[in-house]
Amino acid sequence: MSATETPTQQSVGTSTFAPPPRNGWIDHWEPEDPEFWESVGKPVARRNLIFSILAEHLGFSVWLLWSVSAALLTKAGFGFTPQQLFWLVAVPNLVGSLLRLPYTFAVPKFGGRNWTVISALLLVIPTLLFAFFVQRPDTPFWVFVVIAATAGFGGGNFASSMASINFFFPADKKGAALGLNAAGGNAGVAVIQFFLPIIVGGAGAFGLVKASQSGIVLERAGYLYAVLAVLAAVCAYAFMNNLRAAYSRPREQLAVVRYRHTWVMAFLYIGTFGSFIGYSAAMPLLIKINFFRSPIPSASIGINFVYYAFLGALVGSIARPFGGWLADKYGGARVTLGAFVAMILGTLTVYFTLTRLDTVPVPSPEKLAAWTKDPASFPGFSPEVVAAVNHNSDIFPFFLLAFLFVFAATGIGNGSAYRMIPAIWKTYAASAGPEGSQPRADAEAKSTKEASAVLGIVGAVGAIGGFLIPITFSSPWVADPVQATKSAFVVFTVFYVICLAVTWAYYLRPGSAMAKARV
């Protein structure tokens, strides 16, 4: 069968594929046809998936660039408050969530390959701005907020990548494919949180890498990721394809906003992906606030966040394709419901560990200012501070295990929730007529395009959780940052209970159409 305008001989079992003409456009694509899939579709889909993962991975790394660098700014000479640092962590998530809508609509308009090239090149902007301004401690805070906002370009990459890959795979393989694509992207969070401290000269790798004697050099990370972004754009240009079958007008895509399930799934995705990205962004600062004290750069006590901050994103990323696989096998709604049960149990456990922490005495702002000005005047940690920090450090393993359990649940929920969307729209198409009829075929073709649009809208709304979670942790209306953290986990637990109820009511309630379809 022909995969492009240029006829190419294909036979079942072969993997050769002539490079498509016309700037990478493929005009004929039928992944639901078993013969087409085995002879033509599978190798092309896999190749596009690989390079989509690469670009999305770098996008996530840039998106979460500030999640770990914000916690290192004090060592680089910046005097921002914990509330200000949480804003630097949160703003990229807000911008990234808003960009996901136009990024989704860009795929049918410009092509998945073409937009991957553009979106990868856009990452050069936040990385070079980061590299320039982290060398200037006198830069006003509002400038850093603007720079952090540009990192949101990386958050938009997820929506366009998922919308593109959704077209390449048949329905029974979408869960695993979308799960792998998303997991590869999500892993970018863990990679940036693990390697950035090492790259810039800080300690890392559980203490195996010692801090550089020359101090923190944050700009290295910006320059490195600018180069990697260009590399991803070149790879996308050389190895990816656009699908003519994915083409549609923005008006056709926006039509999905009238479906009730678009907004139900968007709400649930706030609970799954919003939690993953929000917790990933906030975890470095959470560990630093609750388990670490360093009044001057040369003196510290407690748990060093750079050793552990990446673990949450790593666990959540690994769990995501597993959630897609489980959803393919048992149904996305059942797996999503189980994920919310696990998240409720996990957040309650995290809250309990935080209630066991001792209050660490905090020196007055005047003393902190004097020690910062003259580090030699720092008298050392008082016995009360040492005792409290040591006690809290003993609790940290329980806090970490509980938090990693939550991350695993969010990853599974991410994979299963995204698998639900193509299944929901396939159920819509099934009502158009008997299998094999023309109305049914037309409805199924339409449902694939609509499902991709929904993936983008759901991803955009869900990512807002990445903004709300750090802001809730900073809670400017709560004077004590530790108390604000505990209150936030109570709020999150209540929200997950609501998400659980919504999942059951819409997708698992006996007798409902979606429950019968095993969405």
3-state secondary structure of 346: helix
In-domain check, residue 17: no
Pairwise pLDDT comparison (279 vs 433), residue with the higher score: 279
Distance CA 287, CA 109 (A): 43
pLDDT of residue 7: 39
pLDDT of residue 247: 65
CATH number, domain containing residue 162:
1.20.1250.20
203 falls in which pLDDT band (50, 70, 90)? low
In-domain check, residue 220: yes
342 falls in which pLDDT band (50, 70, 90)? very high
3 falls in which pLDDT band (50, 70, 90)? very low
pLDDT of residue 214: 64
pLDDT of residue 270: 93
In-domain check, residue 313: yes
Distance CA 102, CA 460 (A): 10
pLDDT at 431 over 80: no
Helix pair angle (275-291, 174-199), 10° resolution: 30
Pairwise pLDDT comparison (194 vs 413), residue with the higher score: 413
Pairwise pLDDT comparison (465 vs 444), residue with the higher score: 465
- For the ranges 189-198, 241-250, 303-312, 322-331, the lowest mean pLDDT is seen at 241-250
Mean pLDDT of 263-280: 90
In contact, 111 and 24? CB cutoff 8 Å? yes
Mean pLDDT of 215-236: 91
Mean pLDDT of 479-507: 86
Structure tokens at 83: 């509330």
pLDDT of residue 135: 87
Pairwise pLDDT comparison (366 vs 344), residue with the higher score: 344
Mean pLDDT highest for which of 50-59, 159-168, 253-262? Answer: 50-59
Q: Per residue in 139-150, pLDDT tens?
A: 899 999 999 999
Distance CA 223, CA 274 (A): 29
In-domain check, residue 5: no
pLDDT at 15 over 60: no
Largest CA distance in the chain: 83
Distance CA 342, CA 87 (A): 28
**Helix and strand numbers, DSSP H then E, in the chain:** 22, 4
pLDDT of residue 16: 47
233 falls in which pLDDT band (50, 70, 90)? very high
- For the ranges 117-121, 128-132, 439-443, the lowest mean pLDDT is seen at 439-443
Pairwise pLDDT comparison (478 vs 52), residue with the higher score: 52
In-domain check, residue 11: no
436 falls in which pLDDT band (50, 70, 90)? low
In contact, 273 and 465? CB cutoff 8 Å? yes
Number of compact structural domains in the chain = 1
Pairwise pLDDT comparison (460 vs 399), residue with the higher score: 399
pTM above 0.85, yes or no: no
463 falls in which pLDDT band (50, 70, 90)? confident
User: What average pLDDT does the chain have?
Assistant: 82
pLDDT of residue 434: 66
pLDDT of residue 168: 87
Pairwise pLDDT comparison (313 vs 232), residue with the higher score: 232
CB atoms within 10 A of CB 402: 20
* Domain hosting residue 328, numbered range: 25-516
pLDDT of residue 52: 92
pLDDT of residue 297: 67
pLDDT at 77 over 80: no
In-domain check, residue 19: no
Distance CA 329, CA 172 (A): 10
Mean pLDDT of 161-169: 83
10 falls in which pLDDT band (50, 70, 90)? very low
Distance CA 185, CA 157 (A): 9
pLDDT of residue 226: 96
pLDDT of residue 380: 82
Provide, rounded to the nearest whole percent, the portion of the chain with pLDDT above 90: 25
Mean pLDDT of 469-474: 78
pLDDT of residue 127: 96
475 falls in which pLDDT band (50, 70, 90)? low
Pick from 49, 103, 423: which is nearest to 240 by CA? 49
11 falls in which pLDDT band (50, 70, 90)? very low
pLDDT of residue 336: 95
pLDDT of residue 339: 96
In-domain check, residue 433: yes
Sequence-ordered list of residues with C-beta below 8 angstroms from that of 75, at least 6 positions apart, any chain: 202, 215, 216, 297
**What sign for the dihedral angle of Cα 345, 349, 351, 352?**
positive
- What are the φ and ψ backbone dihedral angles of 187, each rounded to 5 degrees? -65, -20
**What sign for the dihedral angle of Cα 323, 329, 332, 333?**
negative
Instruction: Determine the residue type at 205.
Output: A
3-state secondary structure of 204: strand
246 falls in which pLDDT band (50, 70, 90)? low
22 falls in which pLDDT band (50, 70, 90)? very low
pLDDT of residue 481: 66
In-domain check, residue 101: yes
Go through 285-307 and write b for each residue having 16 or more CB atoms within 10 A of its CB, e for each that does not. Answer: bbbbbbbbbebbeeebbbbbbbb
Pairwise pLDDT comparison (342 vs 420), residue with the higher score: 342
Pick from 340, 461, 470: which is nearest to 406 by CA? 340
| Helix or strand (DSSP H, E) at 269 | helix 260-269
